[in-house]
Amino acid sequence: MNPFDGVRSDRRRFLELAGLGALAVAGSGLVAGCGDAKTSGGPGTTDKNQLKSILPAYTAAAGLKPDIPSVQGTDGFFSTPVYLSYPASPATTATGVPGKGGSYTAITPLWGAIPASTGNTYYDTVNQALGATLKMQPSDGVNYDKTLPTLFAGNKLPDWLMIPSWNMGNLGFAEAVNKFADLGPYLSGDAVKAYPNLAAIPSTAWQCCIWNGKLFGLPVYYSGATAGGAFYYRKDILDKLGVRADSIKTPDDLEAAGKQLTDAKAGRWAFGDLFDYLGLIYKYPGDPNKWALDASGKLVNRYEMPEFLEALNWMTKQVKNGYVHPDAIAGKTDQGHQRFWSGKEVIQADGTGSWNGGDAQSGKAANPTYERQAFKPLSTDGKPEILMNAAAGMYSFLNGKLSADQIKECLSIANYLASPYGSAEFLTVNFGKQGVDYTMKDGNPQLTEKGSKEVATTFQFLVTPITPVPVQAGYVQVAKDYAAWEGDMVKYAKKPLFYGMNVTEPAQYAKLTQPMTDICKDIRFGRKPVSAYQDALKTWKAQGGDQLRAFYEDIRNKYGTGQ
């Protein structure tokens, strides 16, 4: 059974949205050919037909039975299955060598140290298996939003490019996407069957890859429940100081714990800067779906929601109380992990990707008792709600200048890269060469010292199979803990407004966000009074916020809310 069945009803609505990108450019109305705007016949049938013509046909992969099965949550969301050991004799899923000797440049973001490109056994091993050369050019993930516009402006696009959804705002993406190849002719409907591993990608993930009524992207790291993040704590430190994590349920509880955990003299502070994640507690939407409905049914941006201001007030208070690490206040977010590992920051908000065996390994190197855990969903009223991100938040694209044969070769390569967990290919793509980059230990692959320098998330950022939670670096308990947390979290999962709709805002509104981000920082770090917020909000509305509301109002009227 397709685990994504529960969310299939979304497809119809999604397809209605296929023309949104074009709408953004045109300013109003739909460009003919992109989605059917003629409401006369009722959107249902036509859209369903169009959906059929765009989405690749789903064929489930004959997967392994997980050790901890997926938990079905609310709104069709479900947790990620967990495997505690890798098959002893992994099967080969792809037939033959996928590549035909072609050579392609690929740019992907990387949050971490960039590995050497020459003498890299991992790169060489994967390329040899692919039968083609992918010249990987990882680029700093933190500054990726600044790299992309210059790539487009200089017309220096690589053959294969990964773009995360949160870096699309300043690109005017509905226009940018035309630089890429339309994959519809190769993948839509039954065509995808030529690439069985791509056919096993669930439809909810493919849906996120459609702009202007065309299939452009390949989904990267999608899942059944993509939460914006989690509130982590150092269990070993909480235990030592007698703070019980399961008794912390509200921001007030968190504040009380902050007092107990902070000991500035000893160089220990309770919190990092939690602000960007407080929507998970105060129930306002995060990026990219920043809109919600107020009690009267009017569209409001998160900046206008009282909950947002409450969250800002809470964070400001914690800074004033002295519970936040001074380096976090000085904007040193890049060293956040080190502060957590060394116990200088006890409670931190971060993406769910931070909780894995690699993290346990680094943490234990700093402190042998290190243990990361996450709070169960918190809320102000005892009724948590987690507004989810779209199934896929990152996508890779093929350059529109590639010939049909080259696109086919790249898709064959993609098919190899999307080999499922448990296969021989998965090991190669994720761990490189056995005996050099990794060894099998206690039934799981573990990177060698050479491997940990060479193997970085690079090929995986071009396309992935549905990603299970594997055991990393031998930390079986971490995988179990994560599964338990996620299995609980999905019970509170909820779709935000315009969920998974790939709305492309007109580029002129890109400038609205920065001043709001700046004012929130100024306030919570004590540089400006909370009262300054209302002035900034007024400016936001006047400079385009209200127009943006009208833009979304139009979308809501024509295409629904995606919920």
What angle, 0 to 180 degrees and rounded to 10, lies between the N-to-C axes of helices 424-431 and 404-417? 100
Sole residue written with tokens 């001043």: 515
Q: What is the rounded CA–CA span in Å between residue 404 and residue 185?
A: 10
Give how far Cα 159 sits from Cα of 98, 314, 414, 428, 429, Å: 17, 46, 13, 22, 19
- Report whether 19 contacts 28 (CB < 8 A): no
Tell me how far, at minimum, the Cβ of 140 lies from another protein, in Å. Answer: 12
Residue whose CB is less far from another protein, 269 or 271: 269
Residue whose CB is less far from another protein, 477 or 508: 508
Instruction: Extract the runs of DSSP E, i.e. beta strands, from 38-112.
Output: 103-110
Tell me how far, at minimum, the Cβ of 532 lies from another protein, in Å. Answer: 10
Give how far Cα 342 sits from Cα of 288, 355, 375, 479, 523, Å: 33, 16, 20, 22, 28
Instruction: Tell me whether strands 372-374 and 386-387 are parallel, antiparallel or unpaired.
Output: unpaired
Tell me how far, at minimum, the Cβ of 37 lies from another protein, in Å. Answer: 24
Measure CA 460 to chain center: 13
User: Going by C-beta distance under 8 Å and a sequence separation of 6 or more, which residues neighbour residue 162?
Assistant: 106, 107, 108, 109, 220, 394, 395, 396, 397, 461, 462
User: Going by C-beta distance under 8 Å and a sequence separation of 6 or more, which residues neighbour residue 255?
Assistant: 314, 317, 318, 321, 323
Tell me how far, at minimum, the Cβ of 331 lies from another protein, in Å. Answer: 2
Residue whose CB is less far from another protein, 476 or 510: 510
Tell me how far, at minimum, the Cβ of 297 lies from another protein, in Å. Answer: 32
Q: Read off the tokens for 481.
A: 């803990």
Residue whose CB is less far from another protein, 406 or 543: 543
Residue whose CB is less far from another protein, 369 or 508: 508
Tell me how far, at minimum, the Cβ of 169 lies from another protein, in Å. Answer: 9
Residue 322 region, left (φ>0) first, then alpha (ψ -120 to 50), else beta?
left
Q: Which residues are at the interface with another protein (CB under 8 A)?
A: 145-146, 149-150, 152-153, 155, 170-172, 175-176, 178-179, 264-265, 267, 269, 325-327, 329-333, 344, 507, 510-511, 514-515, 518, 521-522, 525, 527-528
Sole residue written with tokens 């107990």: 260
Q: Read off the tokens for 239.
A: 């235990």
Residue whose CB is less far from another protein, 23 or 516: 516
Tell me how far, at minimum, the Cβ of 163 lies from another protein, in Å. Answer: 14
Residue whose CB is less far from another protein, 101 or 515: 515
Q: What is the rounded CA–CA span in Å between residue 48 and residue 53?
A: 9
Tell me how far, at minimum, the Cβ of 382 lies from another protein, in Å. Answer: 34
Residue whose CB is less far from another protein, 4 or 551: 551
Residue whose CB is less far from another protein, 167 or 226: 167
Tell me how far, at minimum, the Cβ of 21 lies from another protein, in Å. Answer: 13
